[in-house]
Chain A
Amino acid sequence: MSEIIISAENIGKRYKISHQTKEKYQTFREAIVRSAKTIKNTLKKGKNADNYEDFWALSELSFEIKKGDVCGIIGRNGAGKSTLLKIISRIVEPTTGRLELEGRVASLLEVGTGFHQELTGRENIFLNGSILGMSSVEIKKKFDAIVDFSGVSQFLDTPVKRYSSGMYVRLAFAVAAHLEPEILVVDEVLAVGDAEFQQKCLGKMSEISKEEGRTILFVSHNIGAVQSLCSKGMVLNKGKLQFYGGINEAINQYTSGQEQLNTWSGENGDPALLSVYKTYIQNMDGNTNYFSKDALEIGAEFAAHTDFKDLVVGFSIYSTIGSPLVRCLYNDYNDRVSLNKGRYQVKFQVPPNTLAPGNYRLSFDFAMPFVKKINSNETDLVFEIIGNQDGAGNRYFVQGNSEYNSLIRPNWFSSITILN
């Protein structure tokens, strides 16, 4: 009990990123001259040193993981989670530090690594199993169990290119679930597949850890899954270890440690027309953990320095990639068009379970319609919605397929009745 199976000391990983600071080529002639210069410089210096910058994907990471622990690694995109898993899996080499692993590591960074489209399900079980580190004797021994778990037994002799994506994932995970390494490293792979199968996989994983005492490192954006599966939690933030300890505390750390901008105050606008003094977003508890299920309040304080016959007061919510999702104005659904000189507070309420987990930009708009916008982007806010801890509102998350992961995720379900 409690022997250390993974110990990391000062792990760091540096990448060199190249800058693209040059202007766009104007003419073909210029392009040729430039590339000639680049070649000359390259030959002279040996390297275009100026164009590279160091980027530490991970730095000064030290931790110890005990045998039988199931450790969830959480952090935002780019926090270094995948890099850490790749180092532990021996796929990439760390730039600094030392890592000791007591035992075999099997990594599941992708579902169906090495699956070949042209080969049949049966053939792919052997191929994938062997890539993941099983011997053929082992695969033969577990073959029936794998097929059973996958539920695709009728299609074993069909090339996997004819499989539906669901079948593909089932078969791939079935192979992986029958690995018997001392350390299992799992990246966001459960995100694919339907909820029932996800549940089955989670069950299998906790069975592996509890009954067989195996160590699991698990990365997922599904906080609910991390919470139910893991006992330990590691929070990474910009490549550094922010917290390592019990899973509940880790989740609290993660959800409170966001780099958000939930309030802004100052003075913005036009002294002759209108000044904005404060913008904010908050939930009813007044804290900054916004779960999907929370009702959110969005508000602003401003002063009209003159009488407005017609004024737009409202906001838009954008996704991280800048798609407009929501537009809401105080007078869109009523006749309140004029606004007299004076100081005001305006409040909006976002009903519970409207936005899916993710990051959003909130941009306020004080404008004379069709004339000009008065405030600037300075008053914009950034906030994050966290998935409900029970997973409600974000079940059936499909990794990498935005078709199924809309950002507006309301509970519009009305009823379902049997007809006959």
Chain B
Amino acid sequence: MNRIIIEPGKTEKNYWLDIWRFRELLLILSWRDIKVRYRQTKLGIAWAILRPMLTMGILLLVFNRFVGLNTTNGQPYALFVFAGQLPWMFFATALSDASNSIIANERLITKVYFPRIIIPFSSIATSLVDFLISMVLLFGLMVFYGVEPTWRLLLLPVFFLLVLMAAMGAGLFVAALNVQYRDFRYIVPFIVQFGLYLSPVGYSIARVPAAWRALFSLNPIVGIIDGFRWCITGEGVIFLQWPFWISVGVILIFLVLGVYQFRGMEKRFADII
């Protein structure tokens, strides 16, 4: 029989094991969010396809047609944009959903016990479904433009792992602080809005002056987008150079910070929410 000891300030010995025990809850909460998301919509799941396609269309129109940017290696600009948009949209939705998740599930927090980290994780898992649908669209685009996949595509999971870590770190950090300071409810939409401009989604990192690239790479998504493009269209500007490692470093710092912040606050969630 398992014994549970409750003491103030005591950190759970089997914390991560406990999360594993509650993995089904994580899946069920994501399943709930997905089910509910498209209830009472006319187009239903088609939204998951329309959203990324429309975003790509607009970015293509603005940056390719109006501004006149193009790829350096002759790859279609649509694919170039889509490759950048993949991690960005995942990060943006995961961050927004995760940061609101604890507040949105207030009823659960104040009425039942489970490792609280399950909630932001399940929000991220929900965004993952959109990401996977976008991946299918990506392959569709590659077929459409007749772009042959290279061995580099096999490294895509590594970069996916990076963007997952970035979303987790920032998501946990903001989700926890959001419980006490609702200011973050207003900050996150700003981050997401500005992030689209400050991340090389519609344009290439090559457009950023070399002297600025290190600073630019403090935005962790910069390194990730570069990685995604390297895998998909073969264009890596800062790939494996030191600005890239800055992005990776920021991701790792945020991950540690996020987990630390979340764990530090989660026991008080029910008191302060």
* A interface list, Cβ under 8 A from B: 15, 86-87, 89-105, 107, 109-110, 113-114, 116, 118-119, 123, 126-127, 130-133, 135-136, 182
Contacts and interface: CB of A to CB of B under 8 A. Distances in A.
A102 to B, nearest CB: 5
Nearest to B12: A90
Given A93-B268, A113-B107, A132 B8 contact: no
A94 B113 contact: no
A105 B113 contact: yes
Among B28, B112, B268, which residue has the most Cβ atoms of chain A within 10 A?
B112
B114 interface: yes
Among B7, B32, B40, B111, which residue has the most Cβ atoms of chain A within 10 A?
B111
5 contacts: A86-B110, A91-B113, A98-B7, A100-B4, A107-B111
Interface residues of B, number: 29
A180 B7 CA distance: 25
Interface in B1-53: 1-9, 24-25, 28, 32, 35-36, 39-40
Contact of B2 (A103, A114, A133): A103
Contacts of B25: 130-131
Contacts of A136: 24, 28
A113 B8 contact: no
Contacts of B270: 86, 91-92
Given A130-B28, A135-B24, A182-B1, A93 B6 contact: yes
A145 to B, nearest CB: 20
A91 B266 CA distance: 10
Given A98-B5, A130-B24, A136-B28, 15 more contacts: A87-B6, A92-B270, A93-B6, A93-B9, A100-B6, A102-B1, A102-B4, A103-B1, A107-B111, A110-B107, A113-B108, A118-B35, A130-B25, A133-B114, A135-B24
B271 A105 contact: no
Nearest to A101: B4
B185 interface: no
A114 to B, nearest CB: 5
Nearest to A129: B28
Interface in B196-221: none
A126 B2 contact: no
Contact of A96 (B8, B39, B112): B8
A93 B8 contact: yes
B36 A100 contact: no
B111 A100 contact: no
Contacts of A113: 107-108, 111-112
A343 to B, nearest CB: 57
Contacts of A131: 25, 28, 108, 112, 114
A104 B2 contact: yes
A93 B269 CA distance: 10
A89 B28 contact: no
Contact of A126 (B4, B7, B28): B28
B113 A89 contact: yes
Contacts of B8: 93-97
A119 B34 CA distance: 11
Contact of A90 (B2, B4, B24, B40): B4
A261 B111 CA distance: 36
Contacts, number: 98
Contacts of B39: 118
Contacts of B6: 87, 90, 93-94, 98-101
Contacts of B108: 113-114, 131
B3 A101 contact: yes
A271 B9 CA distance: 62
A86 B40 CA distance: 36
A43 to B, nearest CB: 16
A107 B113 contact: yes
B112 A91 contact: yes
Contacts of B110: 86, 91
B112 A105 contact: no
Given A92-B270, A96-B8, A126-B28, A114 B36 contact: no
Nearest to B110: A91
B2 A91 contact: no
Contact of A97 (B7, B36, B109, B268): B7
A20 to B, nearest CB: 18
A74 to B, nearest CB: 21
Among B3, B32, B267, which residue has the most Cβ atoms of chain A within 10 A?
B32
A91 B111 contact: yes
Given A119-B35, A131-B25, A92 B271 contact: yes
A126 to B, nearest CB: 7
Among B1, B113, B268, which residue has the most Cβ atoms of chain A within 10 A?
B113
A119 B32 CA distance: 8
A114 B107 contact: yes
Contacts of A86: 110, 270
B112 A107 contact: yes
Contacts of B9: 93
A133 B4 CA distance: 15
Contacts of A104: 2
A93 B36 contact: no
Q: Which 7 A-B pairs have the closest CB atoms?
A: A90-B113, A99-B6, A101-B4, A93-B267, A113-B111, A130-B28, A118-B39
B112 A99 contact: no
Interface in B102-136: 107-114
A50 B268 CA distance: 22
Contacts of A107: 111-113
A102 B5 CA distance: 9
B31 to A, nearest CB: 8
A116 B111 contact: no
A68 to B, nearest CB: 14
Nearest to A87: B6
Contacts of B2: 103-104
B3 to A, nearest CB: 5
